[in-house]
Structure 1
Amino acid sequence: MRGKKKLAVTLGAAIAPILAVSLPSGSASAHGYINSPPSRQAQCAAGALPCGPIKYEPQSVEGPKGLKSCSGGNAAFAELDDDSKPWKVTPVSRTTSFNWRLTARHATSTWQYYVGGSKIAEFNDGGARPGETVTHQVNFGGLSGKQKVLAVWNVADTSNAFYACVDVNIS
C-alpha cells in the first residue's frame, strides 16, 4: 500500500506542471472592451445574437499590435470579423463618445480608432494606467452613413493590443 501511495504522489507531482501550463486560462487574464456604443463583443455578451465563446469573455480580444481585425487575430473569436452577422448598428452623431470598460488596467501607450482602414483618431496616454472606464470623444469628420469602427487599445509594456469593433450609423 505504501508503494502505491508514493507512486500516486510522484505521478501527481509530475503531471501537475503539465496541467497548469496546458489548461486554458480563465477570465482573470481579462482586460477590456467598448460597451457604449455597444461593440460586437458587448452585443455577444448581452446575448443579442449567438457568438460562441466571446459571449463569456468580451474583454479578452487581445492580439499582437498592428492588426486590423475585430477578433484581434484570435481564431476563437473569429465570429467578430463576420460582417454578414446581424450586428446592431447604433445611430451616432459626428462626434461620439466611446466608452471602454476595463477589467485589468494596463499601462497604455495609445488608443486608436479606424474606419475603412484609415485612422480617424488617436489618444496618447504616455504609459499611464487608466481607471475602470475610459471615454474618448471621436470626431468622424466628413464620414456619414453606416460604418464599422475598429478601436485599438495599445498596451505600453507588452507587444499586444486589445481590439473592439463597433457598427455605427453616422448622421
Structure 2
Amino acid sequence: MKRKFIAAVVAVLLAPLLTVILPAGTASAHGWINSPASRQQQCRAGTVACGEIKYEPQSVEGPKGLRNCHGNVGRFAELNNDGKGWQVQNVSPNQTFTWTITARHRTSTWEYFIGGTRVWSKNDGGAQPGGTVTHNVNLGSARGRQKLLAIWNIADTANAFYVCIDVNIR
C-alpha cells in the first residue's frame, strides 16, 4: 500500500515537469501545394528570394472567405506581390495539383479559383487528409497566364489555408 502511495505522489509531482520538457504536439493543420510549384514552394526551394515564408510554406492560414495569396498574414504579404518574379508553371486544362500536408485537419472543402471565379471544388465532408493530397482539376476554359488560388477549408475551425500558383494554361 505504501509503494502505491509513493508512486502516486511521484507521478503527481512529475506531471508538471513532463508537460514542460516534452515536445508539444501539432496544434493545427498546415499545408501547401508543392506541384506544380506554388509561390510557397518557390520560396521554400529558394527559386524566389522570400522572407519568413521560406521556412513556413505550410503556415498561410487565415479566416475562411479570403481571396488573397497570404491569408491576411502580414509577415507573408510578399506572396501577394505579383511582380516578385514568380516562375510561371506550364499546366494543362486538366491538371493534377499535389498538396503537402504537414498537420492533418478535418476538411470541409477544397476550392480552386482563377480570376475570382471558382473553377473547381470538392466537398470532403469532414474527412481527415493524409500527408499528401492530389486533386485532378478541370481549369475550365481559362487559357494563358493566370494566377490560380487554391483554398483548403478546414471543417472544425473558422480558418482556411491559401496557396497561389502562377500558371500558363496551354
- Counterpart mapping for 1:131-170 below 5 A: 131-170=130-169
In 2, Cα distance between equivalents of 1:161 and 1:86? 26
Q: In proportion to residue count, which structure has more strand?
A: 2
Alpha-carbon shift at residue 30 of structure 1 (Å): 5.9
**What is the match of residue 41 of structure 1?**
40
Separation of aligned partners in 2, 1:49 and 1:167: 13
TM-score, normalised via structure 2 length: 0.83
Output aligned runs, 1:1-171, within 5 Å: 31-171=30-170
Tell me by how many angstroms 1:141 deviates. Answer: 1.5
Q: Which residue of 2 aligns with 1:18?
A: none
Matched-pair contact (CA < 8 Å) for 1:109–1:155: yes
- Any idea what the Cα deviations from partners look like across 1:45-76, whole Å, max 9, x if unmatched? 00111110000000000000000000001000
- One-letter amino acid of the structure 2 residue matched with residue 123 of structure 1: K
Would the aligned equivalents of 1:30 and 1:57 in 2 still touch at CA under 8 Å?
Answer: no
The one-letter amino acid of 1:152's match is: I
Are the structure 2 counterparts of residues 67 and 154 from structure 1 closer, same or farther at C-alpha, using a change threshold of 3 Å? same
Report the 3-state secondary structure (helix = DSSP H, G, I; strand = E; otherwise coil) of the residue aligned with 1:54: helix
Aligned-pair CA distance for 1:34: 0.2
In percent, how many aligned pairs have the same letter? 62
Q: Which structure is higher in helix share?
A: 1
* Structure 2 residue ranges without an equivalent (≥5): 1-25
CA distance in 2, matches of 1:30, 1:59: 9
Task: Extract structure 1 runs of 4+ deviating beyond 4 A.
Answer: 27-30
Unaligned runs of 5+ in 1: 1-26
* Residue type of the alignment partner of 1:46: A
Coordinate RMSD, CA, aligned: 1.7
Q: Give the length in aligned residue pairs.
A: 147
Structure-1-length-normalised TM-score? 0.83
How far is 1:28 from its partner? 6.9
